[in-house]
Amino acid sequence: MADHLDVRRGVYHDSVSLLQVSRRVADVDGVDKALVAMATELNLDVLASMGFAVPDAGPNDLLVAIRTDDDAVLEAARAEVDAALAASQGTGSAGFGDAPPPRTVAAAVRAGDVDLALVSVPGEHAFVEAMDAVRAGVSVMVFSDNVPVEQEVALKTAAAEQGVLVMGPDAGTAIVSGVGLGFANVVRPGPVGIVAASGTGAQQLTCLLDDAGIGTSHVLGVGGRDLSAAVGGRSTQQAMAALDADPATEVVVVLSKPADPTVAAEVRRVAEHLDTPVVFALLGPDAPDLTAAAAEVATALGREAGEPAQWPAPTDRPGPYTELRGLFAGGTLRDEAMVIAAAALEAPVRSNIPLADDLALTDGLDTPGHVFVDLGEDEFTLGRPHPMIDQRLRLERLAAEAARPGGRVVLLDVVLGHGAHPDPAAELAPAIADAIASGEDLAVVVSLCGTVGDPQDRDRQAAALVEAGASVHLSNAAAARTAVQLAGGRA
Amino acid sequence: MTTETSPLARLLSAEPTIVTAGVELFETSLRDQGVAPVPVDWRPPAGAAADLARIAADPRTADANATALERITAAEPHWVGITTARDAVGIETGQFLHAGPPITWERASGPLRGALIGAMLYEGMADTPEQAIAIAERGELELAPCHSRAAVGPMAGVVSPSMPMFAVENGAFGNRAYCTLNEGLGKVLRYGAYGPEVIERLQWMQQVLAPAMDAAVGRLGSLDLRALIVQALQMGDELHNRNRAASALFVREVVPPLLEAGIDPSELADVVRFINGNEHFFLNLGMPAGKAAVDPARDLPGCTVVVAMARNGTDFGIQVSGTGDRWFTGPAQVPDGLFLGDYGPEDANPDIGDSTITETSGVGGFAMAAAPAIVRFVGGEVGDALTATRTMYDLALGEHPHYQIPILEFRGTPVGIDATRVVRTGIVPAVNTGIAGREAGVGQVGAGLVEPPMEAFVQAVAALAAS
């Protein structure tokens, strides 16, 4: 083997670049050993340890040591040195691009100028991310469900100290200054500010108001547990105060599930001290339905609600049908329809979330008689998206209902707006037409929650569903009453 | 009640700026509304969700972390003197400090054993390496981590009683930290070399270099290390793998007092040549500066800030403020980088040294963007250096008010490593390091980057959750 040693006087490259150059040269086929380095004391020792004769050179000189027997290889190796040294100068075009995206809400809000965090990570991780926002003085909407109640309390207590709002956990819907978060409809701006413990309830109310020409300032979701004894209405009170101070809001609606009596009393006491009038819209067996609540809100504003939009079925179907089958995607809409049905029908109304323990389903979705199921419950959504996004389960169920003997009326809800299926009627209408054509005797009633402004276009959706043979109602309560009537119930 | 300036009033007054974490559908839905969200690239955490939730709910944590960050960034480290290890860290013959978490001779890697052998020879406890090994095998060495005695040591980090040490004082809090003097590159004790030239150099450092340094600092009174680090960051150092500018600035500071000190001219020339020929000379001042800055953040109940990251060549260990002196460890990894001469990854020892105190205090890998010249250690491009620092902001509680990076518009370096953030993001701290040879006595074989083991952070978070 022959050693070839060049000393390039006064040529400087940094040691890191040269380590790379050395490696490239050593990798040339036929090169036994190579060292390209500044002639520092350390590198001269390294050179000696590799068996090269040590030249007279100093730290400002570049050593190029190559061991090979082949002149052609030597030539190639020297060319590689020059190429590698030239390459190590760089082109100045390296990526100076954007910062990598933040991995936590804490890092995202640190940049500043953030008003709200929308957290929809799996429930067990939601608290940590939401707390990042609250501690930074930023309001947060927690869409995630399965958040333990003690975490909800901790989050809302911290939020009260920081003067920010926690929406949720399990808040499906919010509209903040016209921006829809989670599942929300495109509604006109206006004077009604809503504090909502129910996402689909808030969607129904805003859509009914929009249909009546009444706009919404904000919808602040608070989560279904907010008015429980444990949570104590913390977010409801915070949201009421915020809407009271908001110049755009002329009337506040508190849309609540049945509340703990002490908490409800406290919330009502707070309401009395606000400058803005408060309308309580309560959900549950003894409360007026959301359509009645919308009328009450209109009255509070000195307006007239009028009759909510409806689109009759193309063929008159007098009934009566023996069974009423409610296949719902929205929990609150199902609750409301089931309460109306249970009050008007003689036979029992069964459900996966029954009004009484003895009204549970006896044979799953095939339970005979009047049945109201919430297909958005965990038992049906395991392994697939929520039915507001993915309609496959409802399509299958429609076909199964049509295959059952005897006459029946099927009641469906279709929820439009941001986050929902982009064109539900495109899938549902053919399935409804098929069910009506193949079923022994079947009527379909649709509760259509949406606005003309929604990306799916409410009126186009209604027209397609009617063409398929359904009757369509903007008011969920009206849809329920129509279905009840078809099932022979008291009108 | 809200007021006009409250965050809630602002939320309701205009189109909000929204951070999204989780379901992508909602991000898309915001874009469809013409609203640009700030998306979080969220991933499931590397540790238990319940532990992270418990810490997030701990009422002590926010204040404790704020205090820790405030203390670390308020530090005013000054070089104030030269002292012997015997006086500085209170060790006697037979007692040695080492880098990283606690370890025994039996579990020690090659470089640490080599450095201990060298230190025994240097102390006159043994005349030959064989004798030294016999002493060690009889269990007659008392070993303790540097971190347990307010000290830090690069690579093997072995400190024996006769060694001179830099004394660094944190002007803001009065605490001190110590580190030996840097021996230069190649075959040196800290890389596990213990040949005669190593011992001779150590003796020269004790007899000539240390008194000269003592004379210099005596004339200076003290040297403001923070000011020097601030300048070096703007001159392309990150203060761990690159100390070239800081070492040059140090020479500029000490030469005038050295010239005035009446030192024998030939010895003076040796001293200046020695310091000047070692571009890592400042590392042994930067490290105790970091240690002095971070120590006041120790022992704050509920605090999740990492106060030490250190390796002994076998284990990588961390200490967290809220859990006192407990170490949480995982296996030290072999660094990924470039190798000297004929050496390759098979010659490399697993990660070793307390020099990760630089990253812990907001420089080193965290200031990588300041030192684009060294990105090629990992075959990277300049953009990678920027990305490394920018990524570390995700792990850090804050930004250093003094340590700034020109290319990031003088943004402060990320500082205050939050152990919970490491576990939440799945990103470990970026660490730059030298690479020691696996065999005792070989010395340095390369330099590069290394990944701390995530399990150390996961354990720390579990302990914090239980604290």
**Contact A128/B424, CB-based, under 8 Å?**
yes
Place of tokens 């070096």: B232
CB contact under 8 A, A154 and B32: no
Nearest CA in chain A to B38: A108
From the list A114, A218, A418, the residue facing B12 with the nearest CB is A218
Q: Assign residue B135 a region: left if phi > 0, alpha if psi is -120 to 50, beta otherwise?
A: alpha
Q: Find out whether B50 and A210 touch, Cβ atoms under 8 Å.
A: no
The tokens for B302 are 């509920």
**Nearest residue to A201 via CA among A421, A373, A449, A414:** A449
Distance CA B179, CA B79 (A): 11
Query: What confidence score (pLDDT) does residue A1 get?
Result: 77
Interface test with B, best of A12, A46, A128, A166 (most B CBs within 10 A): A128
Range with the lowest mean pLDDT among A44-58, B162-176, B208-222? A44-58
Mean pLDDT of chain B: 94
β-pairing, A173-176 with A116-119? Answer: unpaired
What local confidence, expressed as pLDDT, does residue A379 receive?
80
Beta bridge partners of A413: A447
Structure confidence by residue, pLDDT tens digits, A318-350:
778 889 999 999 889 999 999 999 999 989 999
Longest dimension (CA), chain B: 80
Beta strands in B40-175 (DSSP E): 77-84, 95-98, 142-145, 164-170
Contact assessment for residue A62 and residue A11, using Cβ atoms and an 8 Å cutoff? yes
CB-based contact, B188 to chain A, within 8 Å:
no
* 8 Å CB contact of B8 and A101: no
A16 token code pair: 């890191």
Interface of B with A in 319-338 (CB under 8 A): 338
Residue A429: CB atoms within 10 A of its CB come to 21
pLDDT digits (tens, 9 = 90+) for A200-254: 999 999 999 999 999 999 999 999 999 999 999 999 999 999 999 999 999 999 9
| Nearest one of A415, A491, A435 to A186, comparing CA atoms | A415
One-letter amino acid at A17 equals S
pLDDT for residue B268 is more than 50: yes
Chain A nearest CA to B372, separation (Å): 11
The whole-angstrom separation of Cα A419 and Cα B101 is 52
Tell me whether the omega of the peptide bond preceding residue A320 falls within 30 degrees of 0, making it cis.
Answer: yes
Query: In which element (H, E) is residue B226 found?
Result: helix B225-234
Q: How far is A63 from chain B (nearest CA, A)?
A: 12
Q: Please list, in sequence order, all residues whose beta carbon lies within 8 angstroms of the beta carbon of residue B458, skipping any fewer than 6 positions away.
A: B46, B47, B48, B423
Q: Which of residues 239-268 of B touch A (CB under 8 A)?
A: none
Whether the CB-CB separation of B122 and B162 falls below 8 Å is answered with yes
Taken as a whole, chain A contains a residue count of 491
Position A455: which residue type?
Answer: P
Give residues 408 to 427 of B whose Cβ lies within 8 Å of A: 421, 424-427
Bridge partners of residue A4, in order along the sequence: A66
Torsion of CA B239, B240, B241, B243, to 10 degrees: 30
Which among A104, A124, A154 has the least Cβ separation from residue B394?
A104
What b-and-e string marks burial along B48-87, b requiring 16 or more CB atoms within 10 Å of the CB?
ebebbbbbbbbeebeebbebbbebbbebbbbbbbbbbbbe
Whether B11 sits inside 8 A of A19 (CB atoms) is no
Q: Which residue, among A20, A125, A134, A244, would best test binding to B if mutated, counting the most B CBs under 10 Å from its CB?
A: A125
Residue identified by tokens 């404790």 is B64
Neighbouring C-beta atoms of residue A389, cutoff 10 Å:
16
Check pLDDT > 90 for residue B374: no
Q: What are phi and psi of A256, to 5 degrees?
A: -130, 150
Is A107 in contact with B382 (Cβ distance < 8 A)?
no
- The amino acid occupying position A162 is Q
- A-chain residues near B57 (CB < 8 A): 127, 131, 151, 154
Whether B377 and chain A come into contact, CB under 8 Å, resolves to yes
Beta carbons of B42 and A114 less than 8 Å apart: no
Average pLDDT over residues A452-460: 96
Interatomic CA distance for residues B61 and B55, integer angstroms: 7
What are the φ/ψ torsions at residue A336 (nearest 5 degrees)?
-60, -45
Task: Round the average pLDDT of chain A to a whole number and report it.
Answer: 90
The reply to whether residue B425 touches residue A104, judged by beta carbons under 8 angstroms, is yes
Name every residue whose Cβ is closer than 8 Å to that of residue A107 and which is 6 or more positions away in sequence: B40, B393, B394, B421
Nearest CA in chain B to A241: B1
- What's the residue count for chain B? 467
pLDDT of res. B1: 43
Residue to substitute from A110, A120, A134, A161, interface B, most B β-carbons within 10 A: A120
Q: What is the pLDDT of residue A236?
A: 97
Record: contact B57-A154, CB cut-off 8 A: yes
Nearest by CB to residue B383, choosing from A94, A139, A176, is A94
* A17 → closest Cβ in B9, B376, B386: B376
Contacts of A465 (CB under 8 A, 6+ apart): A311, A414, A425, A428, A429, A432, A446, A448, A472
Q: Is A182 helix (H, G, I), strand (E, B) or coil?
A: strand
Q: What is the mean pLDDT of residues B32-60?
A: 94
Q: Which two tokens stand for residue A152?
A: 């909800």
Beta bridge partners of B165: B83, B180
- What are the pLDDT digits (tens) for B103-119? 999 999 999 999 999 99
d(CA B50, CA B48): 5
Amino acid in the structure at residue B414 = P
Task: Identify any residues that bridge with A324 across adjacent strands, giving them in sequence order.
Answer: A409
Beta carbons of B383 and A95 less than 8 Å apart: yes
- Comparing CA positions, the residue from B46, B426, B54 lying closest to residue A127 is B54
Q: Determine phi and psi for B4, rounding to 5 degrees.
A: -60, -30
Give the Cα separation of A472 and A475 in Å (integer).
9
B387 chain-A contacts, CB cut-off 8 A: 99-100
Q: Which of B4, B5, B12 to mutate to test the interface with A (most CBs of A within 10 A)?
A: B12
Residue A108: which of B19, B26, B186 has the nearest Cβ?
B19
B203 in reach of chain A (CB within 8 A)? no
User: Is the Cβ–Cβ distance between A347 and A370 less than 8 Å?
Assistant: yes
Cβ pair B13:A97 closer than 8 A: no
CA distance A207 to A214: 9
**Contact between residue B417 and residue B370 where contact means Cβ atoms under 8 Å apart:** no
CA distance A453 to A189: 12
**What is the maximum span of chain A, computed from C-alpha positions, in angstroms?**
110
- Per-residue pLDDT tens for B279-310? 999 999 999 999 999 999 999 999 999 999 99
In which region does residue A113 sit, left (phi positive, over 0), alpha (psi from -120 to 50) or beta (all else)?
Answer: left
Cβ contact A118–B57 (<8 Å): no
What span, in angstroms and rounded, lies between the C-alpha atoms of B361 and A205? Answer: 55
Task: Tell me how far apart the alpha carbons of residues B354 and A91 are, in angstroms, rounded to a whole number.
Answer: 36
User: What gap in Å lies between CA B120 and CA B133, rounded to an integer?
Assistant: 9
* Contact call for residues B461 and B420 (beta carbons, < 8 A): yes
B441, pLDDT greater than 90: no
Q: pLDDT grade, residue B378 (50/70/90)?
A: low
pLDDT of residue A96: 65
The residue whose two tokens read 């060298």 is B118
Q: B11, A17: Cβ pair inside 8 Å?
A: no
Distance CA B308, CA B100 (A): 9
Q: Is B108 within 8 Å of B239 (Cβ atoms)?
A: no
**What ipTM does the predicted assembly reach?**
0.90
B286 CA to chain A: closest CA distance, Å? 21
**Which residues are within 8 A (CB) of A82 and not within 5 positions of it... i.e. 6 or more apart?**
none
Of A101, A176, A182, the CB nearest to B40: A101
Interface size between A and B, measured as CB pairs under 8 A = 230
Which residue spans within B340-438 are E strands per DSSP? 352-353, 396-405, 411-417, 431-436
Instruction: Give the confidence band of B3 by pLDDT, cuts at 50, 70, 90.
Output: very low
Closest CA to A306 of A316, A317, A294: A294
- Chain A residues with CB inside 8 Å of B185's CB? 42
The first and second tokens of residue A428, run together, are 């549902």
Residues contacting residue B31 through CB under 8 Å, at least 6 positions apart: B37
More confident residue, A137 or A258: A137
B134 has a chain A CB within 8 A of its CB: no
- pLDDT for A93 equals 40
Give the whole-number percent of chain B exceeding pLDDT 90: 84
Please give the helix or strand (H or E) that residue B248 lies within, else none: helix B244-260
Q: What is the pLDDT of residue B2?
A: 41
Closest B-chain CA to A116: B18
Q: What is the pLDDT of residues A79-131, one digit of tens each?
A: 998 888 877 655 444 456 677 889 999 999 987 789 999 999 999 999 999 99
Quick check: B446 contacting A, CB < 8 Å? yes
How far apart, in whole angstroms, are the C-alpha atoms of residue A271 and residue A269? 5
What is the crossing angle of helices B283-294 and B225-234, to 10°? 120
The shortest CB-CB distance from B56 to any of A128, A165, A242 is to A128
Helix axes B49-57, B454-466, angle to 10 degrees: 50
State the smallest CA–CA distance between residue A132 and chain B in angstroms: 8
Residue B183 has pLDDT above 80, yes or no: yes
Residue with more model confidence, A143 or A100? A143
- CA-to-CA separations, B1 to A152, A275, A420, in angstroms, rounded: 22, 11, 35
- Beta carbons of B49 and A121 less than 8 Å apart: no
Give me the mean pLDDT over the A353-378 stretch.
90
pLDDT at B379: 62
- B52 in A contact zone (CB under 8 Å): yes
- A151 and B383 in contact by Cβ < 8 A? no
Structure tokens at B296: 């006041």
Distance from CA of A274 to the nearest CA of B (A): 10
- The verdict on a CB contact (< 8 Å) between A103 and B425 is yes
pLDDT at B455: 97
The better pLDDT of the pair A112, A274 is held by A274
